Amino acid sequence: MTIETDEPGGNTNTYRLVVRADLPEALTLAPRLVSWKTGEEAKAKSIDIKVNLPAPDEITRATSNSDSASVELVTLEVGRHYRLDITPRDTGKPCLSIITLQLAKPLPAGTARAVYAQVR
């Protein structure tokens, strides 16, 4: 950004202004992948989800692309903090589930809204 000033006597000065900002992701998903070894006990594992937007945005649903895992969305703080509990239905064979989050309002372009559950 360049700023130009009007100085007394008709002189002008130009200043270069540099703005640096560390902007957090709209959503923090930690971890993005939960996994189980083949044959491991099918116990629930959790993903922590935080909404880092200036205004809260409610996560309304979490859906899996397959029936190989069940998902439960737990609200810890409406519009700000959630937990996603994922349980594989069977760990006898490898599989991958993609779980997509639906939010009440649109998110900024490029925001990750998917997490993964895998039996390997």
Look at residues 68, 72, 63 and name the one whose alpha carbon lies nearest to residue 35.
Answer: 68
Q: Determine contact, residues 34/117, Cβ cutoff 8 Å.
A: yes
pLDDT at 18 (0 to 100) = 85
Question: Which is more confidently placed, 21 or 114?
Answer: 114
Q: What is the pTM of this model?
A: 0.78
Give the mean pLDDT of the chain. 91
Model pLDDT for residues 15-24, shown as the tens digit of each residue? 888 888 777 7
Q: How confident is the model over 54-78, as a mean pLDDT?
A: 95
Does residue 11 have a pLDDT over 80? Answer: no
Model pLDDT for residues 71-102, shown as the tens digit of each residue? 999 999 999 999 999 999 999 999 999 999 99
pLDDT band at 13 (very low <50, low <70, confident <90, very high): confident
Does residue 29 have a pLDDT over 90? Answer: yes
Element (H, E) at 16: strand 12-16
Q: How far apart, in whole angstroms, are the C-alpha atoms of residue 47 and residue 33? A: 8
Question: Which is more confidently placed, 118 or 21?
Answer: 118
What is the signed CA dihedral for 35, 41, 47, 48, rounded to 10 degrees? -140
Domains of the chain (ranges; CATH) run 23-119 (2.60.40.3450)
Count of beta carbons in the 10 Å neighbourhood of residue 84: 22
pLDDT at 6 (0 to 100) = 76
